[in-house]
Chain A
Amino acid sequence: MPKKYVMLVDTERCVNCKACEVSCRAEWNTPLGYSRNWVSEVMAVDPNGMPTLSLLSGRCMHCDSPPCVAACPTGASYKRDDGIVLVDRDLCTGCEFCIDPCPYNARFRDPTDGMISKCTFCQPRIDAGEEPACVHVCFTRALMFGDANDPSSEVARRLAEGTWQRLVTTEVDVGPNLYYSKGTQFDATVLPQKKSPTVAAQTLAVVNPGLKIGLGGMLGLFGAAGVLKLVKRKEEVASHEH
């Protein structure tokens, strides 16, 4: 069975120390003002009327149906067989077609090199048999990472307990692979949002079928003219023979 990497976020263990953010920035040298991961604070009121504060460590969700991959015109954004969504820097043009389709705002354009940047689950570390940097430094063990298809892995055992939920809505569910403790309060600031694509993407969405219709129409028109000419030619030949 192929690997399927997932991350579990135990929100009751998170203390908002930001070590995950710092380690990520150190690992990937992200520019000042940008981060590949973050901790969101969600304030809510519990059924007893008491205020609650949920701490949600967020990043690219490495979705099962990643809209960013579908939006990428060059194939720079792709999903590996083990579920990790990556950006091939050789192919990335920094066009940002992929940024708006992400319902979790997990992508940004790195101003230092113009490339699209996002969490990679620290793919080089994983390929070397290590944990992602954020998981490695999380001293409260709020973050767990592993192969959900390996029954012996900790994440598979914890997922089997059924005490997890994903950040999805009835409108937006692209199969995120980050799981949060069940009962964690979500609000509009963290829930996935379906955003309008860029004007260029919207234009292309009209141009693409428009050209197909135009081309089909022309082929139909001149195809019909050709058939008509053939019929006339046959009639002419037949009349000559008579």
Chain B
Amino acid sequence: MNTETAPVKPGFIYSRPKKVIRLHWFNAICWLVLTLSGLGIIRGSLRFMPVGYAEWLQNTVGGQFNLIVGHSLLGLLWAGVFALFVLFNWTSVVWPFLKKVLSITPMSVLRDMYEMVVDIAKLFGLLKSVKLAPPGRYNGAQRLLGTMIIGSSMAIALTGTLMFVLFLLTPMTVDGAVFRWSLVAHAFFVGLVYIGLVAHIYYALIEEPESLQSMTDGYLEEGYVKRHCPAWYDELKKEGRV
């Protein structure tokens, strides 16, 4: 991260640049609107929400066609902004982030799952004596969540784009199974992200409000970093950034 250009704030560590913060909140707003509109699109026995919600939303926006097109265009904007961000910030932000957050080997997944279970148990006063390896920038649960969200988001963008293309263009020779399975995958991955978001929002609001604060100004309290991310703190110390 670009610590050199950030203004120094005594007792705080500059943890993320403004563009990452803006991207995070853009993502959050898009997710909220896309979820609300998406839940209004799915009709029939496959729906997730009461019929009344879909009817109200469709009437509000002037019909199902408008709702589908609006949802899809916002989805494309969301995916497009992320694609551009990745393209223009690959070496400075994206790749360093991915190196820290991705958990893809079976061993790392198992280790992170173990850490996640212990962390959740500790919320209830259980497994207090279990010692975990000092976490770096991200702990096991955060790595799993991050990996799941990155993978799911790519699947959501891909299946959403595919369904929009099939919806707009006459399906013609494309087998109906392509749309059917895209819809299944789209719904599955969106649900999966929401299951993870419960934990993400809980920790941000209740357990670690300091991290929420850093998602507004980019700074984390030095004491918080020392307590919650000791390995990262040591790393920063070695680099002379604290």
Question: If the complex has contacts A91-B68, A211-B187, are A225 and B170 also in contact, measured as CB distance less than 8 A?
Answer: no
Tell me whether B176 and A211 are in contact (CB under 8 A). Answer: no
Q: Which residues of B contact A74 (CB under 8 A)?
A: 41-43, 64, 68, 167
Additional A-B contacts beyond A74-B68, A113-B170, A226-B206 (20; CB < 8 A): A71-B44, A73-B42, A73-B183, A74-B64, A75-B54, A75-B58, A94-B166, A97-B176, A114-B174, A115-B170, A115-B171, A198-B180, A205-B45, A208-B48, A211-B192, A212-B48, A218-B199, A228-B124, A228-B125, A229-B207
Distance from A216 Cβ to chain B, minimum over Cβ atoms (Å) = 10
Tell me whether B181 and A200 are in contact (CB under 8 A). Answer: yes
Interchain CA distance A214-B148 in the complex, whole Å? 15
Question: If the complex has contacts A91-B65, A207-B191, A218-B199, are A96 and B172 also in contact, measured as CB distance less than 8 A?
Answer: no
Tell me whether A226 and B202 are in contact (CB under 8 A). Answer: yes
B198 interface residue, CB < 8 Å from A?
Answer: yes
Chain B interface, number of residues (Cβ within 8 angstroms): 42
Task: State the 7 A-B residue pairs at the shortest beta-carbon distance, nearest first.
Answer: A114-B171, A211-B191, A96-B176, A94-B171, A75-B43, A200-B180, A218-B198
A203 interface residue, CB < 8 Å from B?
Answer: yes
Query: Closest residue of chain B to A214, judged by CB?
Result: B195
B25 interface residue, CB < 8 Å from A?
Answer: no
A70 interface residue, CB < 8 Å from B?
Answer: yes
Question: If the complex has contacts A70-B45, A74-B41, A115-B170, are A93 and B120 also in contact, measured as CB distance less than 8 A?
Answer: no
Interchain CA distance A151-B96 in the complex, whole Å? 77
B83 interface residue, CB < 8 Å from A?
Answer: no
Q: Which residues of A contact B77 (CB under 8 A)?
A: none
Q: Which residues of B contact A75 (CB under 8 A)?
A: 43-44, 54, 58, 64
Chain A interface, number of residues (Cβ within 8 angstroms): 42
B179 in complex: contacting residue of A95, A205, A212, CB < 8 Å: A95
Q: Which residues of B contact A214 (CB under 8 A)?
A: 191-192, 195
